[in-house]
């Protein structure tokens, strides 16, 4: 048996979270059993807790998709030459809010000595999602421009830095607080960030680009930003749609002519619903494009706060506040 975070009644508000005892998983095939040292929180965890997230069929009911820890056992032959005792971090379909997790070795990465377990636990979901948005969906290339919404969110913190490193001509961001805009510019290297709460961010982006617009928009807001996203797209631009924090129903009067006039592309994507081969490809891209930057400090890893996992309710409350500028991490002592 092992301890894990459960949800009383299967779904509910923060007060439903508690630590319970459940069977410890047994690794099979190319899986490894990892003793978890730390796990990261993601917005999907809040939705899943409330019963509002479509969980993949292969996922356990326990929350959590990213973690760091130590390999305790192997189910058989390791895909990546892992061995018992290795410090690792990785991505899973679920089950990270627990003392142990059984996960494919192809979704594990050896933890660099330069990183703490708390830092490593906050990497997989957001950095892999950002890489997916840039390389596989947005097809960002050196010399092109990009706009990241929710500029102080975990994915955008990763994406802005990756875009700068790739050689984007300009990297813009939006956020809903001046402090977050300043953070995106000062700490992440954004060309310019715009306060979406106090200004017309679409007009600001067009002014900053001399009316040309941007080649790629990465959006987590949805309906509220739909028209603005089309307005700021350059010709042959594309919107990468990853979330709908601002609603899913478009208001009357939305002008979709940009799809033809600008030859625009709007593409939605997700990570957790993808098969292991797709996720493994992105894991490999993270090792190639991001891991060296983690080692030498080129990429900054921001941890907002670390909680002992016994305070999981407080951790979820902090995420619900939308006031963070970095990852929320829980540690298992």
pLDDT digits (tens, 9 = 90+) for 44-85: 999 999 999 989 998 999 999 999 999 999 998 877 789 999
The whole-number pLDDT of residue 141 equals 97
In the prediction, which pLDDT does 219 show? Answer: 98
pLDDT tens track for 8-39: 999 999 999 999 999 999 999 999 999 999 99
| Mean pLDDT, range 243-263, rounded to an integer | 95
Q: Label residue 158 by pLDDT band (50, 70, 90).
A: very high
Cα R_g (the chain), whole angstroms = 20
Q: Tell me: do 15 and 119 sit in the same domain.
A: yes
What per-residue confidence (pLDDT) applies to 77? 80
Same-domain pairing of 88 and 163: no
DSSP alpha helix (H) spans, 167-268? 178-186, 201-208, 223-232, 258-261
Q: Which domain holds residue 135?
A: 127-268
DSSP SS3 for 141: coil
| Residue 20: CATH number of its domain | 3.90.180.10
Output the six-digit token pair for 89: 């971090």
* 194-236 per-position pLDDT tens digit: 999 999 999 999 999 999 999 999 999 999 999 999 999 999 9
Residue 80 has a pLDDT of 77
Region 149-178: mean pLDDT is 97
pLDDT at 240: 98
- Looking at the fold, whether 141 and 229 belong to one and the same domain comes out as yes
What separation in angstroms does the CA of 308 have from each of 228, 276, 297, 329, 333? 41, 30, 26, 8, 7
Query: CA 37 → CA 87, 122, 161, 228, 276, distances in Å?
Result: 10, 12, 27, 42, 24
Angle between helical axes of 124-131 and 154-166 (0-180°, round to 10) = 50
Domain closes at, from 218, 235, 268? 268
Is there a single domain that holds both residue 276 and residue 250? no
Positive/negative CA dihedral, 85, 89, 94, 95:
positive
pLDDT of residue 230: 98
Domain limit, last residue, from 268, 296, 320: 268
- What is the model's pLDDT at position 69? 98
Percent with pLDDT over 90 in the chain = 95
Number of domains in the chain: 2
Q: Same domain for 104 and 213?
A: no
253 — pLDDT class (breaks 50, 70, 90): very high
* Separation CA 325–CA 38 (nearest Å): 19
Output the pTM of the full model: 0.94
Q: How many Å apart are CA 142 and CA 44, to the nearest integer?
A: 31
88 CA to centre of own chain? 18
pLDDT of residue 78: 78
Q: Quick one: average pLDDT of 225-252?
A: 96
Rounded mean pLDDT, 243-262: 95
Instruction: Report how far residue 182's alpha carbon sits from residue 26's, in angstroms, rounded to the nearest whole number.
Output: 46
Assign residue 214 the CATH number of its domain. 3.40.50.720
Residues 171 and 236 in one domain: yes
Query: Mean pLDDT throughout 255-282?
Result: 94
Across the range 105-121, mean pLDDT stands at 97
Report the pLDDT averaged over residues 298-310: 97
> In angstroms, rounded to a whole number, what is the distance separating the alpha carbons of residues 159 and 242?
13
If asked whether residues 11 and 111 sit together in one domain, one would say yes
Indicate whether 181 and 299 sit together in one domain.
no
Please check the confidence at residue 2 and state whether its pLDDT lies above 90: yes
Of 26, 24, 20, 22, the residue nearest 8 (C-alpha): 20
Long-range CB contacts (< 8 A, 24+ apart) of 42-46? Answer: 42/66, 42/125, 42/126, 42/154, 43/243, 43/245, 43/319, 44/272, 45/97, 45/316, 45/319, 46/316, 46/319, 46/320
Q: Say what the pLDDT of residue 79 is.
A: 77
Distance CA 285, CA 139 (A): 14
110 and 155 together in one domain:
no
Residues 131 and 81 in one domain: no
**pLDDT score for 302:** 96
């Amino acid at each position: 048996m092992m301890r894990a975070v459960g949800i009383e009644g299967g779904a509910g508000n923060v007060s439903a979270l508690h630590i319970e005892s459940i069977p410890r998983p047994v690794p099979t095939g190319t899986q490894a059993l990892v003793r978890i040292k730390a796990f990261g929180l993601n917005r999907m965890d809040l939705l899943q807790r409330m019963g509002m997230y479509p969980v993949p069929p292969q996922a356990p009911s326990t929350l959590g998709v990213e973690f760091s820890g130590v390999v305790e056992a192997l189910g058989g032959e390791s895909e990546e030459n892992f061995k018992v005792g290795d410090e690792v971090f990785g991505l899973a379909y679920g089950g990270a809010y627990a003392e142990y997790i059984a996960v494919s070795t192809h979704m594990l990465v050896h933890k660099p000595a330069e990183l703490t377990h708390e830092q490593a636990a906050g990497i997989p979901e957001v950095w892999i999602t950002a890489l997916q948005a840039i390389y596989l969906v947005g097809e960002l290339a050196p010399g092109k421009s990009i706009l990241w919404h929710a500029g102080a969110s975990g994915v955008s913190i990763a994406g802005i830095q990756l875009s700068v490193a790739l050689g984007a001509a300009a990297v813009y961001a939006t956020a809903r607080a001046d402090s977050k805009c300043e953070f995106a510019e000062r700490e992440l290297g954004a060309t310019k960030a715009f306060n979406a709460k106090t200004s017309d961010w679409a007009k600001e982006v067009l002014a900053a680009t001399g009316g040309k617009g941007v080649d790629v928009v990465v959006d987590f807001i949805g309906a509220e930003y739909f028209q603005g996203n089309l307005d700021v797209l350059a010709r042959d631009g594309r919107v990468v749609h990853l979330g709908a924090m601002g609603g899913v129903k478009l208001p009357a009067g939305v002008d979709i002519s940009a799809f033809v006039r600008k030859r625009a592309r709007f593409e939605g994507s997700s990570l957790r619903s993808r098969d292991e081969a797709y996720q493994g490809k992105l894991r490999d891209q993270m090792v190639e494009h991001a891991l060296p930057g983690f080692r030498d400090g080129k990429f900054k890893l921001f941890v907002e706060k670390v909680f002992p996992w016994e305070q999981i309710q407080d951790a979820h409350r902090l995420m619900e506040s939308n006031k963070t500028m970095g990852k929320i991490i829980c540690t298992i002592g």
